[in-house]
Structures are given as structure tokens and as C-alpha cells.
């Protein structure tokens, strides 16, 4: 595995062990006494650490965000800048993020084990998100005038920024899932306090570096680090006007409950148990080309991937053979090597969780056609052999619960109606795919799937389209104009027509 000495990008990072948080435009020492260690999941090497901020630090961060939002004295706040001016900042921020692409990629991989083939796209993707939302400035500047039905007056509908937003990110995509919140919040005129996930607190510092280099005013973006309990304090802080969270459904429920009590707007992007509905006319060679990206992306640590493959009975055996061969042939190993497909689980806890699910699948009668409850083959690191299960039935835990690891379940259906019922037989509703040789048939079928997004022959997100979960997969939407509106509060101004 790549060592610290062998990776000069990581070895030369100036902030591997830090004592500071970013508040009001500057790094300052945190006043909390605890520390969070950062571990490379491929080597188990502790290579970094960050402070656990105190409630006093949190109070300072929220107060700084409030001052930056409303302005002081004769100075305008961030909310008062013209949308085109804010868009200009976002475009400069996008450029600065791209300048840090290599450092972002390496830091991301050293934090959570994402293969560098995955993390190397993080900066360019983040930059494209900033540029997309900058392009929506016109939506905020276009007058929205609605006549009274009787013609006696009209209403001017304004869209005001909500205020100070708490952005809480997960560990699986620590850059892009922050930026998916940060970009629309800034474009809308909001200011933010960011809390990264505990295992991945360092890569986001490169985004803060870019924020500084782009000249974004002090206090508009703040960064604090801490454990889950600190995140709860951020969610409940009286100075927060909105919360945006990506993570597990159980934690999302807790956040939703807190925001419900406080009548505080919240966007939740939560878990998934998506299905790939394979039709009898599928081209298996074409499916094999996109299988890992669609069903096991990022070592299975992706919320929307289709970890349940629903196969027609008449082609079940050949589909199992293809999936097994494709997964077994993909390289697992050092995530810093460009040809590695599967890295380690992000944490020891996650590795043990995945292994427990594999054992439950075997105990309930599923057949591991590759992988299974076996040794990883590595002397160190949180590795789990990518596993494919055949003979899976809908009641098994591996067919119902989100595993968040390199585990696929293949279920059999006898009729298309049964296949659709299986796809919808879940408490989640985040993603899904349909594989068919007939694109029109697949498109017509998509409307029968009860999920927020459906891919036809592949799955990918589109910054211009909403990404929204149904049921246990969340509340609200990210991306698209819908994602921008999540950070706006409408005001109707009624006036008589003279």
C-alpha cells in the first residue's frame, strides 16, 4: 500500500495535524479539548488529526455567519449582493477548486479509501456544480409578477435567502456532497457553517483554501469539526435558519425530529436500497460495461447505486454468471493505484458492518458466487472481498437493508409486474435503473418505479435536474433549480394596479 513517504502530496500537506477551525475568514485555534484522529483505511495508519470544536467555537461560527449575512453599518451583507455578483464569486471559486485537484484527490483517498480513479474526479465535479449554480443568477433577477384573478392588483413574488445554513456532510463523497449544498446556498445569498464527517475532516479544508483565494467575504463560509454530538448542537443552534444533511436514514430521522420541533427548514439526502430491473431483452455485454459504476460505485459506498439486481427467471443463471465474473475480475487493492476498482471500507466499523451483513446473507440461505465471509487477502486495511449473492429472496436482510459496502444481491422474478413489485418492495426510494434492449419500453416503465431517480441503461446524476429521495431516502431536493429554491424563502408583495 502507498505509504506516507511514498505520497509526496500527502507528506507535504501543511495541515495534516491541525488545531484550528475556520471562523470569520480566518483559521483560529479551537477551544475544545478533544481531538479526532484521521486514519488511512487502506493502511490503518493514523496520518492526521483535527480538533473537536467547543460550543463556544460553534457560537462564534454562527455569529460570524450572521454578521456576514446581514452586513454591518453601511456595509451590505452577502444577501444584499446582486445575484450576478455572487455568481462571479462562485465562478472564481470553481477555478480555485480545480487548481487544487490533485491535493483534493489524494486527501480524499487517504481519508476514506475511495480509489483514486474515483477521487480524481472530485475537483472537476465540484467546479462544475459551482458553475451550474452560478448560471442560475438570472432566476433570482427575473421579476415574478402575478395578477390578481379579478384584475384589481398584482403580486410581486420575491425570493429571499433563508439565512444562516448548517451544512453537514457524509464521509463517502466528502467534497462533492458538501459542494452540492454550498453552491446553491451561496448563490441564494445564504451564509453557512460546515461540519464535515468525523472520518473525513481534512479534504474539505482545501475547499476553504479555495474560498479564501476566491475572495469570498469573511464569515460567509465557516468550518468547524467535531463528533456526532457536535453536529446535533449545530442542528439545534438558535442561530441556524436551515439544515442540509446527507447521511444515514436513522441520523436523518433524528435531525428531522429536531427541525420539526424548531419549525426549521431541512433538506435530507439519506440512504437507499435501489434496484436494477433487468428485462429479458437485455444486452448482457452492455450491462457488464456499466455494472460496477451503476451497482457498486466507490466500493459500494454510494447511496443511490442499484445493489439489488432483479433478473428475469429465463435469464437468471446467465446474468448471475456475468455479474459474478465481472465483479471477481475487478481489481481490489491499494486505492492510490489508478487501476484499482475496489478499495477498503472507509472505517473499521463499516468493515465490520459489511461483514455482518455477508454472514447474515449466508445464514439466511443466499449463495455467495464470489467473495463471501472470507479473509480479505490483505495484511492490513479495512478490506472486504466484493461479494455477489444469488438465490436471494425479498425477505432477507441483504435484500431489504442498506449495506453500504461491496455486496450485490440478485433476485429472480417471473413476470414484469412481479419485477416492478420487487423494485418497489422497499422502504427507500432514491435511485434505480432499468436495463432493456428497447429504450422506449424502458422509458415507459420508469414511471412505474416509486423512486426519485431512474437511469435507463446507466445511472448518473445531472446537476441541472433534481436529486430527491422518497420515503426513507429523504426530504427535499438537491441540484437543479429545485436545489436553489431550497435555500430561498418566498415573499409576496401585493399592490393595487394604478
Burial (CB < 10 A; 0-12, 13-18, 19+), residue 354, is buried
CB 426 within 8 A of CB 367: no
Say how far apart CA 32 and CA 395 lie, in whole Å.
46
CB 107 within 8 A of CB 202: yes
Of 357, 304, 323, 316, which Cα lies nearest the Cα of 473?
A: 304
SS3 content of the chain, % helix, strand, coil (to 5): 40, 20, 40
Ramachandran angles phi, psi of 369, nearest 5°: -85, -15
Of 175, 241, 199, 195, which Cα lies nearest the Cα of 36?
A: 199
Of 355, 71, 394, which Cα lies nearest the Cα of 220?
A: 71
Is 269 an annotated catalytic residue? yes
- Cα distances from 192 to residues 127, 167, 174, in angstroms, run 18, 7, 16
CB neighbours of 16 closer than 8 A, spacing ≥ 6? 10, 38, 47, 48, 49, 202
CB neighbours of 57 closer than 8 A, spacing ≥ 6? 21, 23, 30, 31, 32, 224
Runs of H (alpha helix) within 269-424: 284-295, 316-329, 348-363, 397-400, 416-424
Catalytic residue among 165, 259, 295, 303: 303
Beta-strand relationship, 455-456 and 164-168:
unpaired
Say how far apart CA 429 and CA 479 lie, in whole Å.
17
Say how far apart CA 328 and CA 296 lie, in whole Å.
12
Catalytic residue among 269, 351, 402, 478: 269
CB 167 within 8 A of CB 195: yes
Beta-strand relationship, 387-392 and 367-370:
antiparallel
CB 95 within 8 A of CB 128: no
Active site amino acids: 269, 303
Amino acid at each position: 500500500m502507498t505509504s506516507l513517504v511514498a505520497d509526496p502530496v500527502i507528506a507535504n500537506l501543511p495541515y495534516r495535524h491541525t488545531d484550528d477551525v475556520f471562523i470569520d475568514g480566518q483559521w483560529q485555534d479551537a477551544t475544545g479539548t478533544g481531538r479526532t484522529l484521521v486514519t488511512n483505511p487502506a493502511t490503518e495508519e493514523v496520518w492526521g488529526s483535527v480538533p473537536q470544536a467547543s460550543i463556544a467555537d460553534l457560537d462564534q461560527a454562527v455569529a460570524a455567519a450572521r454578521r456576514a449575512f446581514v452586513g454591518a453599518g453601511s456595509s451590505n451583507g452577502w444577501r444584499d449582493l446582486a445575484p450576478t455578483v455572487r455568481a462571479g464569486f462562485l465562478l472564481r471559486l470553481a477555478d480555485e477548486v480545480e487548481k487544487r485537484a490533485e491535493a483534493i484527490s489524494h486527501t480524499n483517498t487517504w481519508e476514506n479509501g475511495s480509489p483514486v480513479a474515483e477521487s480524481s474526479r472530485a475537483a472537476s465535479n465540484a467546479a462544475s456544480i459551482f458553475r451550474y449554480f452560478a448560471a442560475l443568477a438570472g432566476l433570482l433577477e427575473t421579476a415574478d409578477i402575478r395578477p390578481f384573478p379579478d384584475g384589481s392588483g398584482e403580486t410581486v413574488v420575491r425570493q429571499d435567502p433563508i439565512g444562516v445554513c448548517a451544512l453537514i456532510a457524509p464521509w463517502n463523497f466528502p467534497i462533492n456532497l458538501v459542494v452540492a449544498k454550498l453552491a446553491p446556498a451561496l448563490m441564494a445569498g445564504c451564509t453557512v457553517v460546515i461540519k464535515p464527517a468525523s472520518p473525513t475532516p481534512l479534504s474539505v479544508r482545501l475547499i476553504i483554501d479555495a474560498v479564501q483565494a476566491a475572495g469570498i467575504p469573511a464569515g460567509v463560509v465557516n468550518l468547524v469539526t467535531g463528533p456526532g454530538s457536535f453536529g446535533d448542537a449545530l442542528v439545534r443552534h438558535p442561530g441556524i435558519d436551515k439544515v442540509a444533511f446527507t447521511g444515514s436514514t436513522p441520523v436523518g430521522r433524528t435531525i428531522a425530529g429536531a427541525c420539526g420541533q424548531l419549525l426549521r427548514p431541512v433538506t435530507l439526502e439519506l440512504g437507499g436500497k435501489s434496484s436494477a430491473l433487468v428485462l429479458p431483452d437485455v444486452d448482457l455485454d452492455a450491462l457488464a460495461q456499466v455494472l460496477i459504476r451503476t451497482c457498486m460505485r466507490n466500493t459500494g459506498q454510494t447511496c443511490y447505486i442499484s445493489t439489488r439486481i432483479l433478473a428475469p427467471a429465463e435469464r437468471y443463471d446467465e446474468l448471475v454468471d456475468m455479474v459474478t465474473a465481472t465483479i471477481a475480475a475487478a481489481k481490489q487493492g491499494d486505492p492510490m493505484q489508478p487501476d484499482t476498482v475496489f478499495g477498503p471500507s472507509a472505517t473499521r466499523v463499516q468493515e465490520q458492518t459489511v461483514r455482518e451483513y455477508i454472514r447474515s446473507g449466508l445464514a439466511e440461505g443466499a449463495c455467495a458466487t464470489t467473495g463471501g465471509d472470507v479473509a480479505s487477502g490483505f495484511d492490513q486495511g479495512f478490506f472486504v472481498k466484493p461479494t455477489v449473492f444469488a438465490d436471494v429472496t425479498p425477505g432477507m436482510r441483504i435484500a431489504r437493508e442498506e449495506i453500504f459496502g461491496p455486496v450485490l444481491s440478485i433476485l429472480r422474478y417471473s413476470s414484469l409486474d412481479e419485477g416492478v413489485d420487487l423494485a418497489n418492495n422497499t422502504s427507500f426510494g432514491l435511485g434505480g435503473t432499468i436495463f432493456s434492449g428497447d429504450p422506449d419500453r424502458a422509458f415507459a416503465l420508469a414511471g412505474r418505479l416509486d423512486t426519485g431517480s431512474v437511469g435507463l441503461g446507466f445511472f448518473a446524476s445531472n446537476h441541472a435536474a433534481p436529486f430527491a429521495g422518497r420515503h426513507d431516502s429523504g426530504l427535499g431536493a438537491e441540484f437543479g433549480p429545485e436545489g436553489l429554491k431550497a435555500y430561498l424563502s418566498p415573499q409576496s408583495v401585493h399592490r393595487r394596479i394604478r
